[in-house]
Structure 1
Amino acid sequence: MVLGTGTRAFITGASRGIGRSLAVALADRGVTLGLAARSTDELQELADSLPGEHHVLRCDVADEESVRDAISAFVAAAGGLDLLVANAGLTHYGPFRAQSMEQLRQMTDVNWYGTLFTVHAGLPVLLDQAGGHVVIVSSGAGLRSFPWAAVYGATKAAQRMFGEALRHELSGTGVGLTMVYPGEIATTLHDHEKDRMPDWYRGGPAAAPPEALAAKVIAAIEKDARAVHFPPLVRILGAVHGLSPQLSDRFLRALRGGGAAPRVD
């Protein structure tokens, strides 16, 4: 599909990071946006800074009714929907045995159920018009999960398997689907975790810029590409892990130290 004036895009988790950068890039092309997040203050500031008219929508992706209401409101206000981006996500780092069930449920509700709720509510609109595109933002952790991020990786792997199968189900419908697997991106996703980041983590301000990822995602949408891996090392890691988990462990130990794969077997 061609992204430009007349395209209508709904983005969850639009207030920060990848979602915000994608919103800016789409608005620069003339796309009308539905900017969705739990807090609308940052969304309104973003909308006011962008060219064009956009819609600010309070949306808690962990709440199915909230998601349906937000998408319905955007479709009514914009006159339709062409691009659906399931981007909202969060993580809590720490050993699984030390994490609370509240933290585990929160990651599951936002990352996994949030994706299901978003796609389930928005996909019928795209199917009814026999056109459009779905983007699901997973993670490199969906290709190879990491210690201290077991449940986060599980939610991202769930997104991956869901999206890969759904892309095939949508064959012949006119609706495309692209999976996105970011590595360490310079966002605020981990701001609440700074005091307990794993020693293998290499993110922060010097990580890959979200603007570069947004450009890759836009290009993938227009080509109906299967997936985006960014930075390129994410694709390499996924391929190596698919061939041999032991080999990917050695690869990661060389790159990130023993904490990335402490068990040798």
Structure 2
Amino acid sequence: MSKTWFITGASKGFGREWAEAALERGDNVAGTARNLDDVKELVDGYPDTFFPLQLDVTDRSADVDAVKKAHEKFGQLDVVVNNAGYGHFGMVEELTEDEVRAQLETNFFGALWVTQAALPIMRAQGSGHIIQVSSIGGISAFPTVGAYHASKWALEGLSQSLSQEVAGFGIHVTLIEPGGYSTDWSGPSAQRSDEIDAYADVREQAAKRPSAADPGKPEATRAAILKVVDAENPPLRIFFGKAPLGIAERDYESRLQTWREWQPVSEEAHGS
């Protein structure tokens, strides 16, 4: 049985790959983009099953309207993919208020507003799957992208709570946590703060991160995302790519070691 998808940021990157994967197998896709010219090929190639919607996800009322239109168009809403987002590069000291707010408005609040718009529909259906595009940067952190991490860590916490709240309604939640991929995330789509010279060495070292040496292929995620949405019991979290598991293991082992080392102080802080 075919599924109906709602995908934000369907014009490029993972959103485009997953829209094409769904359409190629006969699913319906409502895909959003800031500029509808960017999804013209999908409109021309799948006139009956692709529904284009112009959307800036930071506009909450527009998010609600877009989800409503998608549901009215196809009569159901099985998979919602919150993919729209971008990376902001800047040391914490370099970030302006507007830059941080813009990062959170798109990566976090945009996903929240779309999720809230979809939930009443999914509750009424008694089924649905919310896909949140997070990152290995949603569970670990590196220099130069603190604002981006803040947005993804927020999405992670929100989504874990959400998964427990909606499980009884037959709604699944999955956080996709990709490593480095050959997309324009760090290129044309990225935003950058004005640099402070004092951080030149930190910036140079950050540019040598191993993940940049062997990026994943975005098209390889097509089969993976279909396995996730078709699973009877999909995971709350899943990495995409080879590198994230090793990063997570090192990070969490370090955290556990520190927590255990300081447990006597923790217990002291509890009181008798």
TM-score interval (norm. to shorter): 0.7 to 0.9
Which residue of the other structure, out of 188, 201, 215, is the alignment partner of 2:223? 215
Instruction: Determine if the alignment matches structure 1 residue 45 to structure 2 residue 41.
Output: yes
Q: CA deviation at 1:242?
A: 1.7
TM-score of the superposition, structure 1-length normalised?
A: 0.84
Which residue of 1 is the match for residue 143 of structure 2? 147
Which residue of 1 is the match for residue 18 of structure 2? 22
Q: CA deviation at 1:146?
A: 1.1
Moved more, 135-144 or 91-100: 91-100
Which amino acid in the other structure matches residue 242 of structure 2? P
On the 8 A contact 1:11/1:86 being kept in 2, the answer is yes
TM-score of the superposition, structure 2-length normalised?
A: 0.82
Task: Give me the whole-angstrom Cα distance separating, in 2, the residues matched to 1:91 and 1:100.
Answer: 15
Moved more, 233-242 or 158-167: 233-242
Secondary structure of the structure 2 residue equivalent to 1:105: helix
Q: CA deviation at 1:235?
A: 2.1
Q: Which has the larger radius of gyration?
A: 2
On the 8 A contact 1:186/1:205 being kept in 2, the answer is no
**Closer/same/farther in 2, CA of residues 204 and 45 from structure 1, 3 Å limit:** farther
Task: Give me the whole-angstrom Cα distance separating, in 2, the residues matched to 1:129 and 1:30.
Answer: 21
Task: Give me the whole-angstrom Cα distance separating, in 1, the residues matched to 2:77 and 2:256.
Answer: 44
Secondary structure of the structure 2 residue equivalent to 1:124: helix
Instruction: Determine if the alignment matches structure 1 residue 233 to structure 2 residue 233.
Output: no
On the 8 A contact 1:37/1:59 being kept in 2, the answer is yes
Task: Give me the whole-angstrom Cα distance separating, in 2, the residues matched to 1:238 and 1:51.
Answer: 42
Which amino acid in the other structure matches residue 140 of structure 1? I
> Structure 1 unaligned runs (5+)?
248-265
**Closer/same/farther in 2, CA of residues 216 and 51 from structure 1, 3 Å limit:** farther
Secondary structure of the structure 1 residue equivalent to 2:173: strand
Task: Give me the whole-angstrom Cα distance separating, in 2, the residues matched to 1:155 and 1:65.
Answer: 21
Which residue of the other structure, out of 192, 196, 208, is the alignment partner of 1:200? 208
Deviations 1:172-208 (A, max 9, x none): 2111111100111111222235999841356679620
Q: CA deviation at 1:99?
A: 2.4
Deviations 1:123-163 (A, max 9, x none): 11111110121100001101111111011001111111111
| Root-mean-square deviation (Å) | 2.4
Q: CA deviation at 1:245?
A: 4.4
Q: How many residues align?
A: 244
Deviations 1:16-43 (A, max 9, x none): 0010001111111111000112111112
